Structure 1
Amino acid sequence: MLYYLLYSLRDVISPLNVFRYITFRTAIAVITAMAITFLLAPETIRFLKRIGKTQQIRDDGPKTHFSKAGTPTMGGILIIISILVSVLLWGNLANKYVWIMIVSTFCFGAIGFLDDYLKVSKRNPKGLRGKYKFGLQIIVALTIGLIQYFDSSDPYRTMLIIPFFKKWLFDLGVFYIPFTAVVVAGSANAVNLTDGIDGLAIGLVGIAVFATGLLVYISGHAGLAQYLQVIYITGIGELTVFCGAMLGAALGFLWYNTYPAEVFMGDVGSLGLGGALGTLATITRHEIVLLVVGGLFVVETLSVILQVASFKLTGKRIFKMAPIHHHFELKGWPEPKTVIRFWIVGIMLALLSLATIKLR
């Protein structure tokens, strides 16, 4: 909104012409999202404490987590608000991809909000029943797939791109719709599973979205895309502003979520962010890159799958506890050390994802 207002005055105040540049608006989006979080967080945390929206701690988890009882949850509302407001202020709202991202983030955040509400208000640790929770995610993800599939203006709308090679494109046809659903819903749940200790998930999201934002900018810049032999998609560059808003929201929330956390994001934050990452990957055709840059989200998810499968088949557990970050805690790693080490691996994976550009 402010983008339209300020840019329309460029003929009167020439410096305002700077708003035409995506890079400038991305930087402003980062700052705006952080500022909104810093502005709203203190009162939001006090409000959540006052109304009793606090986290329930698992009895089978690390004993050090018992001290977290009473910490307010549902702080992800801050993340969703700061992202959407920042994008509405500085994004080009005539861009269809921006609206797909807005709808996806809001819908997945709403599903998470409903799950959180049932957990903390009804004191039901399971929250929304799994079939309803996952069913709603699939409906939203399939809708995103359908929107992209019927977008005739995008010549690559059904293509699966192998990022390590120049011209490896696979046309999935109508199967791109369920493929999109798997990627988006899978990403949402992967981030949700990773959100188990202070600062872990939000830090990894910030790292992933920073690397993804660079790839999105390149894919949306005709000159850079041609030079680096990356698929160019018209209008996709505007999503760099969205990535900036996500990064700013992640950094702002990390200020309050780092150890010892003053607030937890809850499912409203983890599902919203995970759904946004998955949607971003499908729109920009970086689904395989998401497996790399979000490698730790994949590992966390696989650890749960393997743990459950092993226990059901053999009666034995592979890990001391799943997701795998709890395994390392139970092995004696202090929580802050676990988080920092996971962040380091996340940074390495982000660099590897960027290296795929040169491998082409």
Structure 2
Amino acid sequence: DLRKIPTSGGISVLLALFILYSAVAILEALGYQQLFPPITLLDWKALIVICFFGFFGLLDDFTDVGRITKVFLPFTFSLPLAIELHPNVVFLPFIGLVDFGVLYWLAIVPVYVMVTSNLVNMHSGFNGMAVGLSAIVIGFLLAKSIISGRDTIFMLTCMLGVLLGFLWYNRYPSRIFEGNVGALSMGAAIGAGIVANGFLVSGFVMLIPHVANFLMYIYWRIMRKLHPQDERWRAEKFGKVREDGTLEVPNPLTLKWLLPYHLKMTEKQVVLTMYLLTLVFCILGFFIDF
């Protein structure tokens, strides 16, 4: 009975982050800085961004915040981090380095983090999928940040540890769901880790499966608008479980439904396939400098 499973478990993710930050800050004040990665200014600003998105997700879990609010308000959540990022240079494939000046922190960073947060929220729906995928991406961002001597190492380390702990209870069969509060927090952490370290291109590569899922959704929306009476484009949020444990999904119009629409697969098999797909693109992104 899904109604008996907590659906806003992402609150525990935020709480765990608060505890870790507070504990390490106290230990640093007592002179034990050498025991942990230092908490930098960008780590603190990233925490603020994560909390903004998380609290907004919590609000969205319990009330309808409205479509316009969902689009425009999260745009402002990344500004505390964005104003600390210098220089404002972005590497664009086939073009090279481009200095965007004030547009970098006024537009590029807020849009990047907001979009990433929503991509993570959209690419979910199966037990352990969003949390596991986020842990994979954050793990590679952490390794890339350490090797290249970049920032937000503390935030990424904390988030990775928290997500791995949460995944133990969120994996199939899930005993707790992350909800919007968790999904938006995870996405914000990924987005903050990417922009704070200048990994805009490699971060995009790591998130290609998430982007593909979003593009499939856009395609469905367009086709539904063009053919509102066509049953192929009707709105469907859930599939069914057959007697043999495999999934029966209504269409192949999200990435997680694509394979089980054509093949007999269990939910666990689909989730593991999504893990593998993201792992491949994270490996590719890991070797891209920007």
TM superposition score category, shorter chain reference: 0.7 to 0.9
Find the aligned partners of 1:297 and 1:135 in 2 and give their Cα distance.
21
The alpha-carbon deviation at position 273 of structure 1 amounts to: 0.9
Q: 1:161 aligns with which of 68, 88, 91?
A: 91
The alpha-carbon deviation at position 174 of structure 1 amounts to: 2.4
Partner of 2:238: none
The alpha-carbon deviation at position 199 of structure 1 amounts to: 0.6
What SS is found at the alignment partner of 1:160? strand
TM-score (norm 2): 0.81
Q: 1:337-352 residue pairs with structure 2 within 5 A?
A: 337-352=269-284
**Which protein has the larger Cα radius of gyration, Structure 1 or Structure 2?**
1
Q: 1:119-198 residue pairs with structure 2 within 5 A?
A: 127-145=64-82, 147-148=83-84, 154=86, 156=87, 158-162=88-92, 168-176=96-104, 177-198=106-127
Q: 2:181 aligns with which of 268, 290, 309?
A: 268
1:335 and 2:281 aligned: no
Partner of 1:92: 38
Q: Letter of the aligned partner of 1:305 in structure 2? A: I
Find the aligned partners of 1:70 and 1:264 in 2 and give their Cα distance.
11
Q: Letter of the aligned partner of 1:324 in structure 2? A: L
Q: Letter of the aligned partner of 1:338 in structure 2? A: V
The alpha-carbon deviation at position 206 of structure 1 amounts to: 0.6
Equivalent pair of 2:43/2:153 in contact (CA under 8 Å): no
Find the aligned partners of 1:328 and 1:261 in 2 and give their Cα distance.
22
The alpha-carbon deviation at position 143 of structure 1 amounts to: 4.7
Find the aligned partners of 2:170 and 2:260 in 1 and give their Cα distance.
18
Q: Using a 3 Å threshold, how does the CA distance of structure 1 residues 216 and 321 change in structure 2: closer, same or farther?
A: same
Equivalent pair of 1:111/1:136 in contact (CA under 8 Å): no
Count, aligned residues: 258
* Farther off after superposition, 80-89 or 254-263: 80-89
Partner of 1:107: 52
Q: Letter of the aligned partner of 1:307 in structure 2? A: W
Q: 1:305 aligns with which of 202, 215, 218?
A: 218
Show structure 2 runs of 5+ residues with no match.
Answer: 25-36, 234-249
Q: Letter of the aligned partner of 2:49 in structure 1? A: S
Partner of 1:80: 14
Structure (1/2) with the larger helix percentage = 1
Alignment RMSD, CA only?
2.3
Show structure 1 runs of 5+ residues with no match.
Answer: 1-66, 119-126, 221-235
Q: Letter of the aligned partner of 1:214 in structure 2? A: A
The alpha-carbon deviation at position 294 of structure 1 amounts to: 1.8
Deviation per CA, 1:66-91: give whole Å up to 9, x if none: x5343220000111121232233335
Find the aligned partners of 1:143 and 1:98 in 2 and give their Cα distance.
11
The alpha-carbon deviation at position 179 of structure 1 amounts to: 1.3
